[in-house]
Structure 1
Amino acid sequence: MRLIGLVAAMSATCLAPQVAEAASVSKKIEITAAPAKVWAAIGEFCDIGSWLPIVAKCEMTETDGKKFRTLTTGDGGVLVESLERWDDAGMSYTYRIRSSPLPIENYIATIKVSGAGGTSTVEWSSSFDPKGAPEADVVKTITGIYQAGFAGLKKKL
């Protein structure tokens, strides 16, 4: 009788839907500039348009003490993002996409600057669930956005 219960439990476990892990992207770039200078170039939460070329306009709002930015892309797409954590001393911030034309949901990302002297590392990492598109395609899109941002940041510096 005990064996039957064990087999039934194992069968239920094997047949249960498996929870998919979130997709992720993490990219880094080395920049020949002091970390404080790179952090200043990244700027405040809505300064992303000064170094991410796809952003045509950024508007900042605040609701119940929480900051939101509405990004309008050059092709008219609109993303709404919330600032989840700002660490000026640690030179990082974390944000969440609340709405977007991108085929993703549950997107959360962190941008961090580190380094010493005249060399900095900028890391942009995220996790998300692809929605309505193959994971490989979504990862490629997010990677392209990060690479464009890094190129824009280098150009700004």
Structure 2
Amino acid sequence: MATTRASVRIPVPPERVWELIGGFGSLPDWLPYIPGSELGEGGRVRSLTNAEGGVIVERLEAFDDKARTYSYSILRAPFPVTGYLSTLTVHGDSEAGTSRVEWSGTFTPDGVGEAEAIALFRGIYADGLAALRRTLAV
């Protein structure tokens, strides 16, 4: 099983960051390469549309509003992995009024090498967190 993660420090209080990203259907609000998200099964499943029109279906596996974190699995996606589980967490930083956001995932490469699968998701996470920082800078 492979693991990767990315994190970013944002000069915004964690409550404000979580307000933006804490909803399971909120990816289009801050992630430019996911312009569409539809919730189903009482908000536990999201169908995402990427910029090319592809569909990714994910299931909410755990949610903790107080700890500002949620985990999700992939049910269907064009990614070369199986057993994918990812967690998005907003931490209060040691400096007042700032946050550290971490996006991590575990998965088993399928049809590609471990290094390639890790690079794919590390890039997705890093690009996504950079977009989040830009969104909150406005």
TM exceeding 0.5: yes
The structure 2 residue matched to 1:153, chosen from 119, 132, 136, is 132
Could you tell me how far apart the structure 1 residues matched to 2:52 and 2:69 are? 28
- Is residue 100 of structure 2 the alignment partner of residue 121 of structure 1? yes
Could you tell me how far apart the structure 1 residues matched to 2:113 and 2:51 are? 25
TM-score (norm 2): 0.92
| SS in structure 1 of the partner of residue 44 of structure 2 | strand
In the alignment, residue 69 of structure 2 is paired with which amino acid? S
Could you tell me how far apart the structure 2 residues matched to 1:88 and 1:132 are? 36
Which structure's residues are more often helix, by fraction?
A: 1
Query: After TM superposition, which residue ranges in structure 1, 4 or more long, deviate above 2 angstroms?
Result: none
User: Can you list the C-alpha shifts for 1:23-78, whole angstroms capped at 9, x where unaligned?
Assistant: 0111111111101011112141010111122112111001xx57100011111221
Q: Percent sequence identity over matched residues?
A: 40
Could you tell me how far apart the structure 2 residues matched to 1:27 and 1:149 are? 9
The structure 1 residue matched to 2:28, chosen from 43, 49, 57, is 49
User: Can you list the C-alpha shifts for 1:3-23, whole angstroms capped at 9, x where unaligned?
Assistant: xxxxxxxxxxxxxxxxxxx10
- Is residue 67 of structure 2 the alignment partner of residue 90 of structure 1? yes
Answer with 1 or 2: which has the greater Rg.
1
- Is residue 18 of structure 2 the alignment partner of residue 69 of structure 1? no
CA RMSD of aligned residues (A): 1.2
Could you tell me how far apart the structure 1 residues matched to 2:99 and 2:43 are? 29
TM-score (norm 1): 0.81
| Alignment coverage as a number of residue pairs | 134
Task: Tell me the residue number matched to 1:141.
Answer: 120
Q: Which runs of 5+ in 1 are unaligned?
A: 1-21
**Contact 2:22–2:69 under 8 Å retained in 1:** no
Q: Which runs of 5+ in 2 are unaligned?
A: none
Task: Tell me the residue number matched to 1:131.
Answer: 110
In the alignment, residue 55 of structure 2 is paired with which amino acid? V
**Contact 2:59–2:73 under 8 Å retained in 1:** yes
Could you tell me how far apart the structure 1 residues matched to 2:26 and 2:130 are? 15
